[in-house]
Amino acid sequence: MPANDYQPPVAKLLAIGRPKGTRGKWFDYVEAYGFTQEHVPDLIRLASEEDLDWQDDEGYAPIHAYRTLGQLKAESAIAPLISLLSDDDSDWYMEDLPVVFGIIGPACIPALTYYLVY
């Protein structure tokens, strides 16, 4: 999906640039931008976006999106986020996604167990 197809507040994540914060001490996207469960489908789509330019601020938008999904405890995002683990070229994914799964909580355990075993 082209970056200009996202609607606010999801579209705001395209302009933030390089993420700050470490190990779950992240910017509070939910409070700052008013994200709710209704934004989860667009956030999942943005978190899975592969065609953004990492040389530009919008290239970091998927990171902001999956961090937001964690803060929303979006259980419907578990499987799409697990699929990101296959992108072992991204240190961001390997460092952040375990934190995101921890924030979402125990609902992640069956899907992560399946991923690890099979």
pLDDT one-digit tens code per residue, 19-39: 987 777 899 999 999 999 999
Residue 49 confidence (pLDDT): 93
Alpha-carbon gap, residue 115 to 84, rounded angstroms:
11
Tell if the pTM clears 0.85, that is, is over it: yes
Structure tokens at 60: 């970091």
The percent of residues in the chain predicted with pLDDT above 90, rounded, is 75
Work out whether the CA dihedral 61, 64, 85, 117 comes out positive or negative: negative
The per-residue pLDDT for range 65-111, each reduced to its tens digit, is 999 999 999 999 999 999 999 876 778 888 999 999 999 999 999 99
Q: What is the DSSP string of 38-89?
A: GGHHHHHHHHT---S-TTSGGGGHHHHHHHHHHHTT-GGGHHHHHHHTT-TT
SS3 103: helix
